[in-house]
Amino acid sequence: MSAPATPRPDGRRRTFGPVVLVGLVASGLTALGGTRAWVGTDGETGRVAGIGPGGLARTSDIGEAPLAAALGLVLLACWGVLLVTRGWFRRAAAALGALAALGVVAVAVTSVRTLPDDVAEQLARGGTTDADPGVTAWLPVTALAALVALAACVAAVRLAPSWPEMGSRYDAPADAATTATRAPETSLDLWKAIDEGEDPTR
């Protein structure tokens, strides 16, 4: 008589570490890139009304994309939530992260066409007309990182149900109390419960 076959672990569980690692790194780079200047003119400065002390601002100060920075932080936070949640909430966090990553990509594509002109216009209003703003390396780097993070989030939405979850020891105290008041599992626990005045039939 042959021994029963040992069940093989689900290969999808092995994707947890790689997907989460790629997602965290890409999300962190996206958040970092979103805070950097996407347009600059080699450090030249120009007077821009209402920006900086005395109206003097570097082009890097006006060549940023604040929306991309905010979406990058949301994306990074979604991976933190995904690590400590379970079930449908974990998939919802991954889906939200995918939307945030897609938003960063959309902002990057739009900024390639509009942000240099916006910077040039603001500099011209301050009296600098010979500046030629151009896209810095941070824009494509951020866009590429957001695309990688988007792929990781989509993979997480699909694979999350098969991934390992945190144990019940990390549940809230109320959940732990509920677990502690479950019906006794052994006859010894049953007699102890009766001696303590509890009704195990409830």
* DSSP symbols for 118-136: HHHHHHHHTT--S---EE-
Nearest-CA neighbor of 58 among 137, 130, 117, 126? 126
In this prediction, residue 94 carries a pLDDT of 92
In this prediction, residue 15 carries a pLDDT of 79
pLDDT in tens for each of the 202 residues of the chain? 445 444 444 566 677 888 999 999 999 999 999 988 888 765 444 444 444 444 445 555 567 888 999 999 999 999 999 888 878 888 999 999 999 999 999 999 998 888 888 877 777 766 656 666 778 889 999 999 999 999 999 999 998 888 877 644 444 554 444 444 554 456 667 667 777 767 656 6
